[in-house]
Amino acid sequence: ATPTAIMVGTGLGAQRGVLFKNATALETSARIDTVVMDKTGTLTKGEPEVTDVLVEGMAADDVLALAAAVERESEHPLAAAVARHATEQGAPALRAEGFRNVPGHGAGATVGGRRVLVGNARLMADEGVELGALAARRDELAGGGRTAVLVAVDGRAVGVIGLADAVRETSAAAVAALHEAGVEVVMLSGDNEATARRIAGQLGIDTVIAEVLPGDKAATITELQRSGKRVAMVGDGVNDAPALAAADLGIAIGAGTDVAIETADVVLMRSDPLDVPIALTIGRGTLRKMR
Ligand code: ADP
Ligand code: MG
């Protein structure tokens, strides 16, 4: 593109808080045919809240107190929500020892001499915990778009905690605008498949890649590129940074983590998903002026 077109495009973006870091970012925006969007914190607000505490063979307050003791040691947004809920419910504050974080799966610790695990079904499977009657409760929560966090004590599944994370107001409109522009939209998530599919359905997204481990997000992008797609990745988290770097165009949510913002080619200062189709439109306009 000509220097003038680049200046105009950059200026148009800046007016809306869409920051293109360089001329290449603007030019690449014009050529994107696939947009991969992270679920948590990108399409959703990233502020999960506990909605359900379902238990089996143990009182809900005890399950909550044990889970919260572990989650207070974790920096995961789900962990913060569980800990906050326990405090609000007046559950006793217990001390955790030997905390262990299992990225993409959950966490564990010893609480009052008992071995407590908090995380997804894969964590439970890896630790040899059978879900029993809680499997059906978990499926119900996931089918309703809730993130389901399982709790096990001394190798026995005792509870499942449901969490809801509201979608951003403009997520569905952003997906519709991208489809209108002929761009394919893919949801990428570390969350459970059923949960991710339910939320994708609400937003009009038909391709979902779920249960992706933090370290595998970038490889997912590379695979799409190998199949001939020109991929933009939109994300907010530390986990998303390698995928933002691997994509043809990395787009960071302004409210996201510093690592994501530093790695991205474009930053959406208003954290508005609608600014994704707008960024691509500005890119296309810039390229047209070049001809
Ligand atoms: P996302 O991509 O959804 O941000 P992560 O890759 O961080 O998720 O985690 C994937 C899944 O692992 C979560 O949806 C959750 O089920 C589980 N998980 C990870 N860490 C924790 C934790 N501290 N407490 C409960 N569950 C967790
Ligand atoms: Mg995220």
Question: CA-CA distances (angstroms) from residue 120 to 148, 151, 153, 229, 256?
Answer: 7, 9, 14, 32, 24
Catalytic residue among 38, 191, 216, 272: 38
- Among 126, 191, 257, name the best residue to mutate to test ligand 1's pocket (greatest count of ligand atoms within 8 A of Cβ): 191
| This prediction's pTM | 0.93
pLDDT (tens digit per residue) in 148-193: 999 999 999 999 999 999 999 999 999 999 999 999 999 999 999 9
| ipTM of this predicted structure | 0.95
pLDDT (tens digit per residue) in 138-149: 999 999 999 999
The answer to whether 154 is a known catalytic residue is no
Q: What percent of the chain has pLDDT over 90?
A: 95
Domains of the chain are 3-45+167-290 (3.40.50.1000), 49-164 (3.40.1110.10)
State whether the beta carbon of 257 lies less than 6 angstroms from ligand 1.
no
Residue 115 in contact with residue 186, Cβ under 8 Å? Answer: no
Q: Of 58, 51, 1, which Cα lies nearest the Cα of 28?
A: 1
